[in-house]
Amino acid sequence: MSQRANQKSVKYVPEIRGTLRDHMINLPLVIREASGINIFGKRIKSLAFTTDIAVIKNINADAILAVYPFTPQIVISEALVAVSDVPIFCGVGGGLTMGKRVVNLALNAEFTGAMGVVVNSPTSNEVIRAVRDSIDIPIVVTVVSERDDIEMRIKSGASILNVSAGKNSAELVKKIRENYKEFPIIATGGKTEDSIRETIQAGANAISYTPPSTAELFKESMERYRNAY
C-alpha cells in the first residue's frame, strides 16, 4: 500500500478536553491495537485494574476491572457501579469467598448494573457452573498458570479468560490461543509498550492495565509544587 493510501485510511478524530479535567491518566496507545471484545454492543479493549474511585473518574480506560484482595462486599460494588462512567467488572470472590456466597454476590452485581463478574483462580468449576446458571452477564475466570484446566473452565461456563501470570502472561496467552482460536481473552500486559504489544500479538483481545496509585500521582504533584516555590 502506498504512503498516500495509508494517509487516506487514517481518520482524524476530534478530541474534546476540559481545562480542569485535562490532568488525567491516559493508557498506553498501543492497547488500541488489540481487537477488543464486544460485550452487549460495547467494544472493550482496555480495562483499568483499580477500585480507586478518584482514578476511575479520571482515566480513559474502556472498562474497570474491580477486583480487590478482601472479601467482596455489596456496598463496594454498588458504589463503583454508581460512580463509574464506563462498565464495571466486579470481583465476586472464589479465593477466600467460596460457594453460595459467590453466587449471591454475582447476582447482586448483575442487579446493580455490572457488565460482568470476575472470579479468582481457585474458584471451583462447580461454583462457576452455579454462577452461570444464576446470571446472564459474562463470567470472567482468572487464569494464573498453564496448569489450569482451560477446557473445564470453558465447559463450566466461563465467558472470558483473564490471564494474570505476571511476566509469563504473554507466553500463557499464546499457549491458550493455540487451542482456542476465538475464545475471548483479557490479559495483563505489563507497563511497557513492548510488553503490551507482545501480549496482544500472542492473542489477547483486551489488556488489563494497573494505573499508578493516587499516592504515586500525588508525589509527582507535590514535587512540582515544591519546585515552583
| 9-41 confidence digits (pLDDT tens) | 678 889 887 776 667 899 999 999 999 999 999
* CB-based contact 63:115 (threshold 8 Å): yes
Q: Which residue would you say has higher pLDDT here, 197 or 15?
A: 197
Q: Which residue would you say has higher pLDDT here, 50 or 6?
A: 50
Is the pLDDT reported for residue 79 higher than 50?
A: yes
Is the pLDDT reported for residue 61 higher than 70?
A: yes
Length of the chain: 229
CA distances to 13, 69, 171 from 10, in Å: 9, 42, 32
Amino acid, res. 201? Q
Is the pLDDT reported for residue 175 higher than 90?
A: yes
Cell of 156: 463450566
Is the pLDDT reported for residue 180 higher than 70?
A: yes
Q: Per CATH, which fold does 26-211 belong to?
A: TIM Barrel (3.20.20)
Residues 6+ apart with CB under 8 A from 102: 92, 93, 94, 119, 123, 127, 130, 131
- pTM across the whole model: 0.88
| pLDDT score recorded for residue 2 | 47
Query: Sorting pLDDT into bands at 50, 70 and 90, what band is 123?
Result: very high
* CB-based contact 143:160 (threshold 8 Å): no
Q: What is the pLDDT of residues 206-226, one digit of tens each?
A: 999 999 888 888 887 788 777
